[in-house]
Chains A and B, each alone.
Chain A
Amino acid sequence: MTKSILLVGVGGQGTILASKILTNGLMEAGYDVKMSEIHGMSQRGGSVSSQVRYGEKVMSPVIEKGKADIVVSFEKMEALRALDYLKKDGTLVVNNEEIPSMSVITGEETYADDILEEIQKHVNAKVVDATRLAAELGNEKAANIILLGTIIKAMGLEHIHWDSILEANIKPQFLELNKKALKVGMDAVA
C-alpha cells in the first residue's frame, strides 16, 4: 500500500532538505519512492510543499486531496491550508510557529489568533514547538529535522538507519546538532 506524506511550510523553512533526507532513507530501506515539489516563484516567501509517496510500487508522485496519511506543517497557517489533503483519520503535526505573510504585514489581512483551535476542531493535531526546541539545541534552523523526526516516529520508520542518511546529506559541522534534533522530534510525538 502506498503511503503519502505531505510537508508544507513557508519558503526558506527547510522543507526541501527534510524531504530529501526522508526520501533517501526510504529508498535505502528498499521502498519505491516518488517526491514532487514545486519550485520557482514560490521560493520568494510563498507557501511551499513537498509531497512524498512510498511503497512497493508508487504510481503518481502527487498526493490527492483527502489522501495524505500524514501532514507535517512547519507553520500554523499552512497546516490549516493543507487540511484538505489530510485523510479523515490521518495524522497532523503542526509546528507552533507563526509567520506573517505580506498581506498581514501591510495590514490587508489579519492572522487570526485561533488558528490552532480551528485546526483542533477538526483534527487531533500534534502541536510541536519545533522552532523553540531547535533554539534550545543551539540553532533554530534545525527545526526542520525535528519535524522530520516526528514523521519518522508517526509513520513507524525508526528501523531505517537515519544517522547514516544524515551523514550523507548534512555538513559535518551541523551533523551532531541534527542527529540530536531528529531524536528530539521522535520523542516529541512519542
Chain B
Amino acid sequence: MKKLMTGDEAIARGAYEAGVSYASAYPGTPSTEILENLSAYQEIYAEWAPNEKVAMESAIGASVAGLRSMVSMKHVGMNVAADPMFTWAYMGVNGGNVIVTADEPGMFSSQNEQDNRNYAKSAKIAMLEPSDSQECIDMVKAAYELGEKFDTPFIIRMTTRVCHSKSIVELKDRTEIAPKTWEKNPAKYVCLPAIARKLRVNLQERLKKLAEFTETCSFNRMEMGDTSIGVIASGICYYYAKEVFGENASYLKLGMTNPLPANMIRNFCSKVDKVYILEENDPYIEEFVKQQGCACIGKDLFPSYGELTPDVIRACVTGKAEETIEFDKTKLINRAPTFCAGCPHRGLFYRLGKRKDIMISGDIGCYTLAAGKPYNAMDSTVCMGASISIGHGAQRAFNAIGNGRRVVTVLGDSTFFHTGVNSLINTVYNKSNTVNIILDNRITGMTGHQENPGTGYTAKGEETTLIKIEDLVRAIGVKHVYVVNPNHLDEVDEALDRCLALDEPSVIITRWPCVLKKFSKEDKAEFDKLFSTKNKVDPEKCIGCKLCLKAGCPAMSYNKDTKKVSIHRAQCVGCDVCTQVCKKGAIVKED
C-alpha cells in the first residue's frame, strides 16, 4: 500500500516493520512526531522520558535485555544523551538499537545549529542518513539487521526537511522478532576500566569491519551521467543537488556516512572532472574526501550554516540568484510567533517585565517569546533546564559584587522535569536566594502537547502517578513555595514581592493549563470556567489609550476610525488579563 508520510512518520513505520518493541524519547522539534507515531502502534511499548539521557539509557536497557529498541531526539538532545551513548558504543547491542538525531540546519525551532554527524564519528557508532521517507523506512530496517550483525548501535541522522517533508512510501507488514536471550556477561556490559580497555580494542576491530562493509553498502551508490561535474551528497542535499544539476552531472549518493567509503569516494573522484561536496553545516564529508587526497569544492564555495536549498546551491555555483518579482519590501510587517490568546504565560510576563533591577534567566519553551516586545522579560536563554543554574551563578556573582541585583529564573513544567530539577537541587544545596518560577501549564506545550511526569498520563494515554511540582520542590528543601493563578495579576505581584524580599531560595508555580491543550478530566475539575467565557470592550468607557494592547494579546486590536480597542470574539477565551490591565474598567465579561 502506498502512503504519503513525513520522514518522522516513516522512521516510526520502519521501526514497526522491523519488529521494534521498545521506544523512548523526549519531545523536541523536529523529532517529536517519531515517538508520537511509535506510540500509536499497539505492538510497540513507547514512553516519554523526562530527558534524552534517560531515554537513551532506557533504550540501552531494553536492548541489553533482548528487545529491538529506538530512541529519538532533536540535535541538542544528543548533547544530553551523549554520556551513555559514548560508552554504549563500546558495549555493543543485544537486541538492535537505533538512535535517531533530528538536526536543524537553519534553526527553525532551535537555539543552535549543530552537525550531529560529528557525534557518530566521535562515538564510533555506525550512521545512516536518509534522503526521503522511503529511505527512512528502509534504513531503519537495515540498521537493526546490520546492528545485530556487527554488534553496534546505529545512528540515523535526519534534518528538518527530511523529518517534516512528505513523500510517498510503500508500506509492508511487521516482522515479529523473537527477543534475544539475556545472560550475565560483565565482559560486555560492565564498563570498568579493565573491561573497557578490551572493549575499546574490539570497537576498533568493529570499525574496520564496518569500513569494509560501507564500500558495498547499497545505500552508497554512484549514478554516472555527464562526468564534467561530480556531486557527493547525503541526506536531503542529494535531492537538492539533483534539482540543480539534473542529468548534467554524476552523483555519489552517500547513505552510510559512518564509516565513509574511502575506495568508492576515490573511485568516483577519479571519474569526474570537478567534485562538489553538498552537505549542510560542517564539512564532514569534505574533510574525509580531502584526506583521501581528492580535490573537491565544498565549504570554500557553499555556506557552512543555514540550509543548502537548491536556490542557495544555484546562487553559489552560478554566482547569481534566480530572478524574482521585485516589490516594495518596506510594506511588509513582521509576523513573529506570539503567545496565544488565553496563554497562561501572558499574565506572568506582563508583570515580570515591569520589575526593575532584576535579571531574568530564561529557558527553552514557548515562554522564550517573552524576550521580545511587548514583554522584554527575558535576559538569557541557553539550553533546557539552564534557567535555574545560570540564575544561581548570576545571583552568586551579583551577591559577591554587592550591587543588590536579584535574579528571577523562569522555566516550564516539562523543562523543570527535564533537567531543571537538578539545577534547583544545586540552588538549595549551595544556599542561593534566587526566585524560581515554574510555569506549570499542565503539558509540554511548544512541541505540540506531549504528556510529562506532571500530567498524570503516559505517552500511551494511560493514567499514571502524577508528580506534583510543589511536593517535589518542597522535598528538595525549598521552604518558600507559592502556587498562583497567572491570570490573576495581583497574585503574581504578591508572590513576586514576597519572594524578592527573601534571602533564601523560593519557588513560584504559575498553574493554569495551556489554552491549546486537550483538557483532561482532572483539568476540568481543577480549573474553574476553563476558557469558557468571553470579554468585551465597553466603547463608552474605552478612551483609546491602548494600554491593554501592551499585554500583547492577539485577540485585541485598535480601530483607527473609532479610536477604540475591540476584542475579536472568536479568539477571546476570557482569561481576564486585559480586564486587569485596563485602568478605566472598560473591559468586561460578556453577560
A residues whose Cβ falls under 8 Å from a Cβ of B: 10-11, 23-24, 27, 32-47, 58-62, 64-67, 77-78, 80-81, 83-86, 88, 100-112, 114-115, 118-119, 121-123
Residues of A within 8 A of B2 (CB): 27
Name the residue in A23, A44, A100 with the highest tally of chain B Cβ atoms < 10 Å from its Cβ.
A44
User: Do residues B331 and A60 form an inter-chain contact, with CB atoms below 8 A?
Assistant: no
**30 A-B residue pairings within 8 Å (CB atoms):** A11-B337, A23-B4, A24-B4, A35-B166, A40-B447, A41-B369, A42-B109, A44-B338, A44-B366, A45-B340, A46-B338, A47-B335, A58-B167, A59-B240, A60-B310, A61-B236, A64-B243, A65-B321, A65-B322, A66-B325, A77-B333, A100-B557, A101-B333, A102-B373, A106-B374, A107-B558, A109-B333, A109-B334, A111-B333, A123-B325
Name the residue in A86, A100, A108, A122 with the highest tally of chain B Cβ atoms < 10 Å from its Cβ.
A100
User: Do residues B337 and A44 form an inter-chain contact, with CB atoms below 8 A?
Assistant: yes
Question: Would A27 and B168 be within 8 Å (CB), given that A60-B239, A62-B240, A107-B558 are in contact?
Answer: yes
Can you list the 3 inter-chain pairs with the closest CB atoms, starting with the nearest? A40-B109, A44-B337, A46-B337
Q: Which residue of A lies closest to B7 (CB)?
A: A61
Residues of B within 8 A of A32 (CB): 168
Residues of A within 8 A of B446 (CB): 40-41
Q: How far is the CA of A47 from the CA of B337 in the complex (A)?
A: 8
User: Do residues B327 and A101 form an inter-chain contact, with CB atoms below 8 A?
Assistant: no
Q: How far is the CA of A115 from the CA of B332 in the complex (A)?
A: 9
**Interface code B554-584, partner A: CB below 8 Å = 1, 0 otherwise?**
1011100000000000000000000000000
Q: How far is the CA of A33 from the CA of B328 in the complex (A)?
A: 33
User: Do residues B556 and A34 form an inter-chain contact, with CB atoms below 8 A?
Assistant: no
Residues of A within 8 A of B239 (CB): 59-61
Q: How far is the CA of A62 from the CA of B313 in the complex (A)?
A: 13
Q: How far is the CA of A60 from the CA of B165 in the complex (A)?
A: 10
User: Do residues B165 and A44 form an inter-chain contact, with CB atoms below 8 A?
Assistant: no
User: Do residues B30 and A39 form an inter-chain contact, with CB atoms below 8 A?
Assistant: yes
User: Do residues A107 and B546 form an inter-chain contact, with CB atoms below 8 A?
Assistant: yes
User: Do residues A66 and B324 form an inter-chain contact, with CB atoms below 8 A?
Assistant: yes
User: Do residues A62 and B337 form an inter-chain contact, with CB atoms below 8 A?
Assistant: no
User: Do residues A88 and B168 form an inter-chain contact, with CB atoms below 8 A?
Assistant: no
Q: What's the minimum C-beta distance from B366 to chain A, rounded to whole angstroms?
A: 6
User: Do residues A77 and B309 form an inter-chain contact, with CB atoms below 8 A?
Assistant: no
Question: Would A41 and B109 be within 8 Å (CB), given that A35-B165, A60-B243, A66-B324 are in contact?
Answer: yes
Question: Would A106 and B552 be within 8 Å (CB), given that A10-B335, A33-B167 are in contact?
Answer: yes
Name the residue in B311, B339, B340, B369 with the highest tally of chain A Cβ atoms < 10 Å from its Cβ.
B311
User: Do residues B325 and A41 form an inter-chain contact, with CB atoms below 8 A?
Assistant: no
Q: What's the minimum C-beta distance from B303 to chain A, rounded to whole angstroms?
A: 16
Q: What's the minimum C-beta distance from A133 to chain B, rounded to whole angstroms?
A: 17
Q: How far is the CA of A189 from the CA of B252 in the complex (A)?
A: 45
Q: What's the minimum C-beta distance from B192 to chain A, rounded to whole angstroms?
A: 43
Question: Would A61 and B161 be within 8 Å (CB), given that A105-B554, A106-B552 are in contact?
Answer: yes
Q: What's the minimum C-beta distance from A94 to chain B, rounded to whole angstroms?
A: 13
User: Do residues B334 and A118 form an inter-chain contact, with CB atoms below 8 A?
Assistant: no
Q: How far is the CA of A39 from the CA of B165 in the complex (A)?
A: 10
Q: How far is the CA of A115 from the CA of B365 in the complex (A)?
A: 34
Residues of B within 8 A of A105 (CB): 549, 552-554, 556-558
Residues of B within 8 A of A81 (CB): 332, 335
Q: Is the C-beta of B29 less than 8 angstroms from some C-beta in chain A?
A: yes
Q: How far is the CA of A95 from the CA of B57 in the complex (A)?
A: 50
Residues of A within 8 A of B338 (CB): 44-46, 101-102
User: Do residues A40 and B108 form an inter-chain contact, with CB atoms below 8 A?
Assistant: yes
B residues whose Cβ falls under 8 Å from a Cβ of A: 2, 4, 29-30, 108-109, 132, 160-161, 164-168, 236, 239-240, 242-243, 307, 309-311, 314, 321-328, 331-340, 366, 369, 373-374, 446-448, 546, 549-550, 552-554, 556-558
Residues of A within 8 A of B331 (CB): 80, 112, 114-115, 118
User: Do residues B327 and A36 form an inter-chain contact, with CB atoms below 8 A?
Assistant: no
Q: How far is the CA of A47 from the CA of B30 in the complex (A)?
A: 18
Q: What's the minimum C-beta distance from B422 to chain A, rounded to whole angstroms?
A: 26
Q: Which residue of A lies closest to B570 (CB)?
A: A140
User: Do residues B334 and A103 form an inter-chain contact, with CB atoms below 8 A?
Assistant: yes
Q: How far is the CA of A11 from the CA of B341 in the complex (A)?
A: 13
Across the interface, A36 reaches (CB within 8 A) one of B161, B333, B335, namely: B161
User: Do residues A118 and B327 form an inter-chain contact, with CB atoms below 8 A?
Assistant: yes
Q: How far is the CA of A64 from the CA of B324 in the complex (A)?
A: 10
Question: Would A61 and B369 be within 8 Å (CB), given that A66-B323, A103-B334 are in contact?
Answer: no
Q: Which residue of A lies closest to B314 (CB)?
A: A64
User: Do residues A59 and B314 form an inter-chain contact, with CB atoms below 8 A?
Assistant: no
User: Do residues A45 and B554 form an inter-chain contact, with CB atoms below 8 A?
Assistant: yes
Q: How far is the CA of A118 from the CA of B331 in the complex (A)?
A: 9
Question: Would A101 and B336 be within 8 Å (CB), given that A45-B554, A83-B327 are in contact?
Answer: yes
Q: What's the minimum C-beta distance from A125 to chain B, rounded to whole angstroms?
A: 11
Q: A35-B167, A38-B108, A106-B550 are in contact. List 18 more A-B contacts (CB 8 A).
A: A10-B335, A27-B2, A40-B108, A40-B447, A44-B369, A46-B335, A46-B338, A61-B239, A62-B309, A83-B327, A85-B324, A101-B338, A102-B373, A103-B336, A105-B552, A105-B553, A106-B374, A118-B327
Q: How far is the CA of A92 from the CA of B460 in the complex (A)?
A: 44
Residues of A within 8 A of B322 (CB): 64-67
Q: What's the minimum C-beta distance from B276 to chain A, rounded to whole angstroms?
A: 16
Residues of A within 8 A of B167 (CB): 33-35, 58, 61
User: Do residues B161 and A39 form an inter-chain contact, with CB atoms below 8 A?
Assistant: no
User: Do residues B340 and A65 form an inter-chain contact, with CB atoms below 8 A?
Assistant: no
Residues of B within 8 A of A80 (CB): 327, 331-332
Q: How far is the CA of A34 from the CA of B223 in the complex (A)?
A: 22
Q: What's the minimum C-beta distance from B306 to chain A, rounded to whole angstroms?
A: 13
User: Do residues B161 and A62 form an inter-chain contact, with CB atoms below 8 A?
Assistant: yes
Q: How far is the CA of A36 from the CA of B166 in the complex (A)?
A: 6
Question: Would A103 and B168 be within 8 Å (CB), given that A40-B29, A62-B309 are in contact?
Answer: no
Name the residue in A77, A102, A112, A121 with the highest tally of chain B Cβ atoms < 10 Å from its Cβ.
A102
Question: Would A35 and B4 be within 8 Å (CB), given that A45-B338, A64-B309 are in contact?
Answer: yes
Question: Would A84 and B333 be within 8 Å (CB), given that A34-B166, A40-B29, A102-B338 are in contact?
Answer: no
Q: Which residue of B lies closest to A19 (CB)?
A: B166
Q: What's the minimum C-beta distance from A96 to chain B, rounded to whole angstroms?
A: 17
User: Do residues A122 and B337 form an inter-chain contact, with CB atoms below 8 A?
Assistant: no
User: Do residues A88 and B323 form an inter-chain contact, with CB atoms below 8 A?
Assistant: yes
Q: What's the minimum C-beta distance from A170 to chain B, rounded to whole angstroms?
A: 16
Q: Which residue of A lies closest to B240 (CB)?
A: A60
User: Do residues B325 and A62 form an inter-chain contact, with CB atoms below 8 A?
Assistant: no
Q: Which residue of B lies closest to A52 (CB)?
A: B166
Q: Which residue of B lies closest to A10 (CB)?
A: B335
